[in-house]
Amino acid sequence: MKIKIFVTGGTIDNIEYDSLKKERKNYKTYIPELLKQSRVKVDYGIEILMLKDSKFITEKDRSTIFKKCLYCKQNRILITHGTATMALTAKFLGKYNIKKTIVLVGSAIPSNKKKSDALFNLGAALIAVQILPKGIYIIMNGNVFSWKNVKKNFNTGFF
């Protein structure tokens, strides 16, 4: 397997938290379907680490993501992640100077909704993880960001 894909949830998987019921609204990932729809032929493997709205990703969760990245045999890793705290996770990973190419990706609109940016972002991230040098990156809406210089603008929804 050439690329390891770690799934953590977020809008790309339509993971939302119902504050009234205090539970998640979705318990599955759409990533395998998106890859199939895109006719991806690159060798990859998927592992679900968690299915969380990224607002609820903890330091313990980030530590789990770090350990999975560090100890997996692949040197090219893609992480699907919610956009609310994606930059925090990238910075968490970046401080460890992992000698692998790690790309975080998400979407502003859920992958199962019309006009979603998920398919485009996932495709861009798959290409990026194959050609970028070792480091931690965020790929969103056609842009490549280094972990050292990325921030989400919550007013516009863009990075």
Q: Which tens digit of pLDDT belongs to each residue from 25-40?
A: 667 798 999 999 999 9
> Distance from CA of residue 17 to its chain's centroid?
18
Of the pLDDT bands very low, low, confident and very high (cuts 50, 70, 90), residue 14 is: confident
pLDDT digits (tens, 9 = 90+) for 27-86: 779 899 999 999 999 999 999 999 998 988 999 999 999 999 999 999 999 999 999 999
Which token pair is 13?
């998987």
User: Would you say the pTM of this structure is higher than 0.85?
Assistant: yes
Closest CA to 11 of 90, 57, 103, 80: 80
Query: C-alpha angle 31/33/39, rounded to 5°?
Result: 105
Does residue 146 have a pLDDT over 70? yes
Domains and CATH numbers, the chain: 3-146 (3.40.50.1170)
